[in-house]
Chains A and B, each alone.
Chain A
Amino acid sequence: MSKVLLDVRNLKLYFRTRSGPVQAVDNVSFQLEEGKTLAVVGESGCGKTSLTKAILRLLPRNVETYEGEIIFEGEDIMKYNEDKFRKEIRWSKIAMVPQASMNSLNPVLRIEDQLMEPLLLHDRTMTKKKALDRVKEVFNIVGLPTDFLRRYPFELSGGMRQRATIAMALAANPKLVVLDEPSSALDLLTQANLMNVLKRIKQEYKTTFILITHDIGTASELADEIAVMYAGEMVEYSSAEYFYTDAHHPYSRKLMASVPTLREDKELQFIPGQPPSLINPPSGCRYAARCEKRFEKCSEHPCTVELEHGAKVQCWLYDETGEVKHA
């Protein structure tokens, strides 16, 4: 087993609103090994994007609570002050491809300038020429012609801009790249293309990825680990190998049942109801209201139990022995 790169413990991110705090990320813990890809899945509004923001400390103004530990390469980066975090972590160690990454390029700067910017900023010994060479290199990796570097973002198509953003994320050789729905705004062909690019990068450069998506199918192509988020909590964390055939949490199972597959003929299912509001969520299991298997104990908050193959699940149906009770 390779070493743990990212260890998140009890991460909380609450936003302040008029009607009370929104618990966007609530007590999330997970570990990610170097070179692995974690796919975080869940429906819209379950806190996936907030999780990326919390990891990269890209917080909006209305943060109420932001606590927990983020141990990256053995150091708790939550303890870094703003300046140290900016200089030592951002982009040089952890980079991101944001949601709607087509809009994440400054419209009035040439693409090469935007890509070189973090390189020149974080490495004092970097010359402009070296930075340009590196930028050309990453452009080749993502499969964009290097003469596009002289262009402005509006002269590129959406898919190209997305790739340019990925190239920007890779440029500084970060340990961890957080991809927030990198393909959601693209057509299927471009999506498949992008996934292939990411797969190749993963294999060749052993980059660690966190892939946020609501598309479980897409996630399966890249992921080694799957985390399922529901209403701000991480309800299941398991290796991709077992997750697709044997998900534990009732929500994960329903989620899997809603995905069409090629090889088997199954009736697609849907999950009735809606996720609870993240302002004053139920004190018990947050999924209980929609769960088919709920029983009395579900009105209390479930603990996380570890099962075989390192899977972790937050549900009363399981205990340490892994037995399924009341099923």
Chain B
Amino acid sequence: MANVETAEKQTVQKTQRTSGNLGRIAKYTLMKGITLLITVVIGVYLAILIANGGGYVDKMREGQIREQVSLQLAGNPEMAYLSQAEREQIYEQTVQIRIRQVGLDQPFMVRSFRYLWNGLTLNLGKAEYLLSDSGSRQVRNILGERLTPTLLLMASGQMLLFFTSVFFALFLSRRYGSVIDRIVVAMAPTSAAPAWFYGIFLILIFAALLGWLPFGGMIDAPPPQNPWLRAVSVLKHMVLPVGAIVLSSIFLTSYYWRTFFLIYSSEDYVDMAKAKGLSDRAIERRYVLRPTLPTIITSFALTLIGLWTGAIVLETVFGWPGIGRLTQSAINMFDTPVIVGTVVIYAYLLALTVFLLDIIYALVDPRVKLGGGEK
């Protein structure tokens, strides 16, 4: 009898706790969302301020407009029949129209908030100088066109690097002190040189000297008609840049993960698992990988964010039409909308990843509880 009663009581308590949990999760998610949104807003606004040089870029643009207009008018034969005063009036009028057209007549503070709102709503507008390959001035089209190649290259490279190094590191941590382990440790400093540095040598060896692989670009010119052949052609162009990415960091990341696994495999509970008679594989899975999963996931998520930004120099070295090169030319040409566009997309992706990470953390690590410890 007493047992039944306590059991009932427990179920009641449990249901109460579950509904309380749901409320807490909702509150936590909302709070997290708001915090991240504020971060994104601040980040994008700062990017707008910086990309406009605090309004200085606008002065330069005004100067450019004046120059264009005066050239335009000077080339117009009708202007020759007008008096000096009339000419100046027309000139001034045209300039004002153009300035109003691009919105330069409003004070910078007002405009910066309009940029902010447009940016946040992904209403990215038109680029000032850059064109997409298909000739569009829409920032969205320009970015969209460049995103795919960057993702293709960076995702292949970074994923390959990440998974190879984690599994290689597990292998190394099992063979601590062996010859191969020592070689990897000794080779770790080679990662001080960036990927494009290795890229140059790879091009020299495999493209210039041996002629096995193309020098750069993304596809043969002209592109093959058959979709299969086209894929093969892209793959062929990817080998060297991906190779450069992997080669430049494999030793350092393997070294890092190997040390990381070594530290965690000297935990007391790993010894205990061994004493319990678990096989080495079970120990590795449940007692080394499982408790370190949050750290591995964080690292992986940060790698994912890094993919979107591309690699400016590497893309330049390999002539790869990615977002890294786009960002660089946008910065060189003061193309504010494009710069802000990349920053907005990047900020949103970062916030989203952090948001997902927090939730995944709570799932994989019981020590991380949603929303404070009040009970």
- Complex CA gap A121/B276 in Å reads 9
In the bound complex, do residue A58 and residue B274 qualify as a contact, i.e. CB atoms below 8 Å apart? Answer: yes
A3 located at the interface, meaning its Cβ lies under 8 Å from any Cβ of chain B in the complex: no
Q: From the candidates B276, B286, B366, B367, name the one contacting A118 in the complex (CB within 8 A).
A: B276
CA distance A117 to B287 in the complex (A): 12
Task: Pick the residue among A91, A105, A121, A122 that contacts B269 (CB under 8 A).
Answer: A105
Q: Per a CB cutoff under 8 Å, which of B177, B275, B279, B286 touches A109?
A: B286
Chain B: CB-nearest residue to A104: B272
CB within 8 A of B290: which of A92, A106, A152?
Answer: A106
The reply to whether A103 and B278 contact each other, CB–CB distance below 8 Å, is: no
CB distance from B363 to the nearest CB of A (A): 11
Partner of B367, one of A91, A92, A107, A110: A107
Number of cross-chain contacts by CB at 8 Å: 73
Name the distance in Å between A181's Cβ and chain B's nearest Cβ.
13
Query: CA–CA, A92 to B272, complex, Å?
Result: 14
Provide the bound-state CA to CA distance between A109 and B286, in Å.
8
Q: Which residues of B are found within 8 Å of A326, using beta-carbon distances?
A: none
B276 neighbours in A (Cβ, 8 Å): 90-91, 95, 117-118, 121, 168
B367 near A87: Cβ-Cβ < 8 Å: no
> Which B317-366 residues have a C-beta within 8 angstroms of A?
364-366
**A242 located at the interface, meaning its Cβ lies under 8 Å from any Cβ of chain B in the complex:** no
Contacts of A327 in B (CB 8 A): none
- Whether A103 lies near B267 (C-beta < 8 A) is yes
Q: CB of A154 within 8 A of chain B?
A: yes
> Does A298 lie at the interface of the complex (its beta carbon under 8 Å from any beta carbon of B)?
no
Take A92-B277, A103-B269, A121-B276 as given contacts and tell me if A108 and B176 are in contact as well, using a CB distance cutoff of 8 Å: no
- Using CB atoms, name the residue of chain A closest to B291: A108
A285 at interface by CB-CB < 8 Å? no
Q: How many residues of B contact A (CB 8 A)?
A: 24
The 8 Å CB contact of A90, one of B176, B277, B365, is B277
Q: Are A98 and B268 in contact (CB under 8 A)?
A: yes
Check: A96 CB closer than 8 A to any chain B CB: yes
Q: Are A56 and B278 in contact (CB under 8 A)?
A: no
Q: How many angstroms from the CA of A104 to the CA of B278 in the assembled complex?
A: 14
Given contacts A103-B269, A109-B286, contact A91 B291 (CB under 8 A): no
Is A100 on the interface with B (CB-CB < 8 A)?
yes
A130 at the interface (CB under 8 A from B): no
- B271–chain A nearest beta-carbon distance, Å: 6
The secondary-structure label for the interface of chain B is helix
Cβ A87 vs Cβ B277 within 8 A: yes
Q: Are A58 and B290 in contact, CB atoms less than 8 angstroms apart?
A: no
B291 to A: closest C-beta gap in Å: 5
Q: CB-defined interface of A128-145 with B at 8 Å, one 1/0 digit per residue?
A: 000000000000000000
B272 touches A98 (CB 8 A): yes
Residues of A within 8 A of B274 (CB): 58, 90
Q: Residues of A contacting B269 with CB < 8 Å?
A: 103-107
**B277 / chain A contacts, CB cutoff of 8 Å:** 86-87, 89-92, 118, 121-122
Are B268 and A104 neighbours in the complex by a CB distance under 8 Å? yes
| Assembly CA distance A154 to B279 (angstroms) | 25
Taking the nearest CB of chain A, how far is it from the CB of B264, in angstroms?
Answer: 11
Residues from chain B with Cβ under 8 Å of A309 in the complex: none
Q: A124 in the interface, Cβ–Cβ < 8 Å?
A: no
Smallest distance from the beta carbon of B361 to chain A beta carbons, Å? 11
A315 CA / B75 CA spacing, docked (Å) = 116
Partner of B271, one of A98, A107, A118, A122: A98
Contact B366 A106 (CB under 8 A): no
In the assembled complex, A61 has its CB within 8 A of some CB on chain B: yes
Cross-chain contact A56 with B287 (CB below 8 angstroms)? no
Render A162-205 as a binary contact track against B, CB cut-off 8 A, 1 for contact: 00010010000000000000000000000000000000000000
**A117 and B267 within 8 A (CB):** no
Chain B residues within 8 Å of A165, by CB: 272
Decide yes or no whether B151 CB sits under 8 A from chain A: no
B273 an interface residue at 8 Å Cβ cutoff?
yes
CA distance A98 to B270 in the complex (A): 11
Scan residues 284-314 of chain B and give those whose CB is less than 8 A from a CB of chain A: 286-287, 290-291, 293
A97 to chain B, nearest CB (A): 9
Output the nearest chain A residue to B273 by Cβ-Cβ distance: A106
> Please, what's the 1-or-0 string for B241-252, where 1 marks a CB less than 8 Å from any CB in chain A?
000000000000
Check A100 against B177 for contact (C-beta < 8 Å). Answer: no
**Inter-subunit contact B278/A117 (CB<8 Å):** yes
Task: Return B261 CB to nearest CB of chain A, in Å.
Answer: 14
Residues of B within 8 A of A92 (CB): 277
Q: Considering the chains assembled together, what is the distance between the CA atoms of A120 and B291 in angstroms?
A: 21
Residues of chain B contacted by A95 (CB below 8 angstroms): 275-276
5 smallest beta-carbon distances between A and B, as pairs: A90-B277, A103-B268, A104-B272, A118-B276, A152-B366
* CB pairs A–B below 8 angstroms (5 shown): A61-B176, A107-B291, A108-B293, A108-B364, A117-B276
Question: Given A98-B275, A104-B269, 13 more contacts at CB 8 Å?
Answer: A56-B275, A87-B277, A90-B276, A91-B276, A95-B276, A98-B272, A103-B268, A106-B273, A106-B290, A108-B365, A108-B367, A109-B286, A117-B276
Where the two chains meet, the residues of A that have a C-beta atom closer than 8 Å to any C-beta of B are 56, 58, 61, 86-87, 89-92, 95-96, 98, 100-101, 103-110, 117-118, 121-122, 152, 154, 165, 168
